Amino acid sequence: MSRRTNKYIPVMLNSVRSRKSGWKIAFLALLAIVAVVVVVLVLGNRKVPFSTVTPSTTPVEAVSATPEEPSDEVYSVPGEEGEAAGGSTADENADSAENPVETLLSAYQEAYTQSEKGFLKAADAYSLKLLSFRLALAQANGTLIDACSYFVGLDRGETPGEWSGGNASIAASSGSYVLSATFSTGSKIEGTVSSTMTRLTCTVFDTDGETAIRTVELVKGSDGYYVQIWDRDGVYVNTRYMTGSDGLNCAIGDAKQDPVYDAVPISWSEFSGGNGEAVRCTTGGAIITENGQETICNLS
């Protein structure tokens, strides 16, 4: 009897386990079907992100409706904001071009900076002997930069060859550029720049608008820039200097000398003539001339 019982019990257990397993399988299958239905419904009603937002675009940002056709857009590289997308035209380049004063002044300043290095070597070694030339150069260069500064940064006009801004203007006339600046005090600046942007002259007038008190002349020669500054009230009345290959050459005078705008100098010896003091930089130092007497300043 016990054997039957032992055989019966396992059969009953297997039957129970079978029924329990079948219920679990049916439940998991139903759960899977419900999950699939939910996913389908969600995906069917899902909207594309920003699909309800109307983008605001500029003509440059608009995308072509025919992607198979190549785009002609050219995007500017960071740091090149001055270049418009799609390239720039010749007119745009002309609008951003420097005016003649800026062009000449920029080239001059570069040459002056390079030549000054050679002069300072001698000036530092012979500080007392070259002190007057050092001060004269500082005054003259400062006067030139100050006079030209009124014509830098002007806006280009609608007519070719014209720039203006504030109380200053530049206008092309008779093959040259005419400079003009007026001030509330009554003083003014008038000048001319050659069409080749290699020669400049301008005169500063007193508050009466007629009395000249300062003249600036800048001329590019074959061997450097020649400059003459006459300042009626300056410590050094007339200063001539040149941006030489070995350093700045300088000459100091007590009287106003002839203009050089129309008579481009051909050599420093010619340009420095008629002055009581002059210095010429050389590869090994400088040569000072005072009333015909030369003093050699060697650096070695």
Average pLDDT, the chain: 79
Q: Could you tell me the pLDDT band of residue 27, with boundaries at 50, 70 and 90?
A: low
The whole-model pTM stands at: 0.68
105 within some domain: yes
* Residue 139 and residue 16 share a domain: no
Which residue type, as a one-letter code, is found at position 81?
E
CA distance 96 to 287: 44
Residue 184: pLDDT band by 50, 70, 90 thresholds? very high
Report the SS3 class of residue 95: helix
For residues 287 and 141, membership in a common domain is answered with yes
Q: Please check whether residue 169 lies inside any domain of the structure.
A: yes
Residue 26 has pLDDT above 70, yes or no: no
Q: Are 182 and 191 in contact (CB under 8 A)?
A: no
Per-residue burial over 24-35, b if 16 or more Cβ lie within 10 Å, else e, is: eeeeeeeeeeee
- Residues 115 and 242 both lie in one domain: yes
Domain membership of residue 184 (yes or no) is yes
Q: Which of 267, 279, 278 is nearest to 118 (CA)?
A: 279
By DSSP bridging, strand 199-205 and strand 188-194 are antiparallel
Task: Kindly state whether residues 116 and 224 are assigned to the same domain.
Answer: yes
In this model, does residue 299 exceed pLDDT 50? yes
Domain extent for 18: 1-33
Neighbouring-strand partners of residue 293: 290
Residues 6 or more apart whose CB falls under 8 angstroms from that of 96 comprise 82, 156
Q: How many CB atoms lie within 10 A of CB 139?
A: 16
pLDDT for position 28: 64
User: Looking at residue 24, what is its pLDDT?
Assistant: 60
Residue 263: the pLDDT is 87
Instruction: Tell me, yes or no, whether 118 and 244 share the same domain.
Output: yes
Per-residue pLDDT at 1 exceeds 90: no
Does one domain contain both 145 and 261?
Answer: yes
3-class secondary-structure state, position 181:
strand
DSSP symbols for 116-139: HHHHHHHHHHTTTTTHHHHHHHHH
Tally of domains within the chain: 2
Q: 223 and 103, same structural domain?
A: yes
Q: Quote the pLDDT of residue 276.
A: 84
Which range is least confidently modeled, 80-94, 158-172, 174-188?
A: 80-94
Note whether 131 and 221 are same-domain residues: yes
Stretch 60-66: mean pLDDT: 35
Classified as helix, coil or strand, 65 is: coil
